[in-house]
Amino acid sequence: MAANFAYQNIRDFEFIIQEWLPTEQIFNYPQFADYYSKDDVKSVLQPILKLAKEVVEPTNEDGDKNPVKLENGKVTLPPTFGPLFKQLQQEGWGTSNIDESEDAMVLPHILHSMVWEMLAAANPTFGPYIILTSGAAGLIQSFGDDHLKEMFLPKMMDGTWSGTMCLTEPTAGSDVGDILSRAYPTDDPRLFKIKGSKIFITGGDNDFTENIIHLYLARVEGAKSGTKGISLFVVPKYWVNEDGSLGELNDVETTAAEHKLGQHGSCTAALSFGENNTCRGWLLGKNPLENDGAGEGMAQMFQMMNGARMETGHAALSCIANAYYNARDYAKERIQGRPLTNPKGDRVTIINHEDIKRALLCGKAHVEAMRAMMYKIYFAFDVRHCDPDPEVRAKANDLVEVATPLCKAYPSDEAWWLIGEAIQCYGGYGYCEEYPVAQIARDVKIYSIWEGTNFIQSMDLIGRKWMLKKGAAFGAFVQEMRDFFEANKGVEGFEREFENLGRALDAYTQIQMAIGGYFGNKQYGMMPLYSRRILTATAQLFCGRLILDQALLAAKKAQEVGAGHFDYEFYTGKVAVARYYLRNVVPNVWAVAEIVKDGDTSVLDVPIGAFEY
């Protein structure tokens, strides 16, 4: 009973692509013009809604009830995972969507991401197997020579082989520059012997693909220290011969499968490479010994990491949405209590009670605001990849760069308490494993930790993205929101919402000035002290601007169609969530501003010994 994919329709996706964003720009690019238009949204997504419910959802319960096992060095995964992996890959919903060949028929990023939101909601545990395979294949596609592409990509794209990213080690997690993995030259300048160990490798082993292709970070012996000396290697579990056939085990062994709070069907593995001194890998990019000791591994890996950060935040959003949808459906059926306004009347379904309506509107508002943010950025992904104008591509890239930490951290930070609100709607039943929200809570928590903890995302925002292009990129990001405010602040019926958006914009300027002042006074500890709260405030400001834009459009549409139209409540719901978000969530921006300006240093001042009591 626990697994329940509760998405009922694709109306919000249709609104985003067909009504809100100017997606005709995307569908007119040569890559897509002959295959799709924005009117094809339903024909693509409606079958996915059905696939998610009928095919993917059952694998979610299988994954939770039949967790990964490691016995005698071999892992066993839930039995439904292998067939699903092959089906999704072979039907074109997975890795093949990165194919850049001229005759490739791929979905625009914004539409493909809608596919994956539903699939991720139906089984959060399964998605990483395909997402990581796609990311690993993308690195080979971007940085490998023709020989490596021919050797690896076809079998990774059709589901015969899977892929991973291997960064974390027992002694080096977020501080990747301190990794101990080493690579040693061989007689073949393309090949290096690999020695080291990695932990927390998602999808690190499985029993349903013929090979696993690890994209592995290591330091070539003699290269520079720190991140500058790290290189990236293609290290298969089984050696791949020059003719593409599989050889012997490549001295890669699974030493542990982690026992986790959630995501029980996902093999999070500890891996040993080169224990017998026979592990080999192909170098991607320049040999650091021929490049003044500098490796290219971190720059290359960030291509995969930045995509994975977006997908991690999006997976968190899918869990929030599915928890909200489940709570909504339960609240529509559960009869309990009488309205305070009519205490002698009949008992009512709990969706009629004020606090349940508050919790549900809170969930709906966050889902639709976060979704607006995610797809605004996925739209920019398509523009930066496809637009013929270099200046247009550069502006889109700036938006992606600035917003990536927001898209990763904001949904995954808020998911924990938002899903807690969904659990609360169920009362005691929500805490029972027979109901789906308990598992969703367990499964979602990892997303705030994956792909760089959300503290790292916040430091990226303030330490790097605020200063990108000497501050011009982030300045343009804020200015666009201010331009939107100035152009629309007089719209009748939305005066209070725009007043709050304007106040939040002013407060954000105060936040930046306060952090600048602390730096000027060499109070360097103040930035990491406040960075996570500033990231949250930044995302709330951006989401507020976007959901208010949707509301202006929806209000016009509601007036056009009239109260008797089947879409009327959809549009009025858009207006309601914008009002809620601007008046209940966005005020946190100026609350954070007051906290940052206050400059409380109690965290910095408290002695470590005080934590003993």
Cβ-in-10-Å burial (0-12, 13-18, 19+) of 381 comes to buried
Q: 459-468 long-range contacts, Cβ below 8 Å, gap at least 24?
A: 459/527, 459/528, 459/531, 460/405, 461/405, 461/406, 461/531, 461/534, 461/535, 461/538, 462/515, 462/527, 462/531, 462/534, 462/535, 463/527, 465/401, 465/402, 465/405, 466/512, 468/398, 468/401, 468/402
- Active-site residue among 290, 451, 480, 569? 451
Cβ(412)–Cβ(448) under 8 Å? Answer: yes
Residue 27: both structure tokens together: 């569908």
**Helices (H), ranges, 277-389:** 297-333, 354-386
Angle between helix 472-488 and helix 390-426 axes, rounded to 10 deg: 70
> What are the C-alpha distances in Å from 153 to residues 18, 97, 161, 445?
34, 12, 9, 32
> What are the C-alpha distances in Å from 25 to residues 383, 394, 481?
8, 16, 22
Asked if 594 is an active-site residue, the reply is: no
**Cα–Cα distance for residue pair 492/496, rounded to 1 Å:** 10
Cβ(273)–Cβ(195) under 8 Å? Answer: yes
What is the 3-class SS of 219-231, one letter each residue? EECCCCCCHHHEE
Alpha-carbon torsion, ordered 218, 224, 226, 231, to 10 deg: -30
Active-site amino acid positions = 451
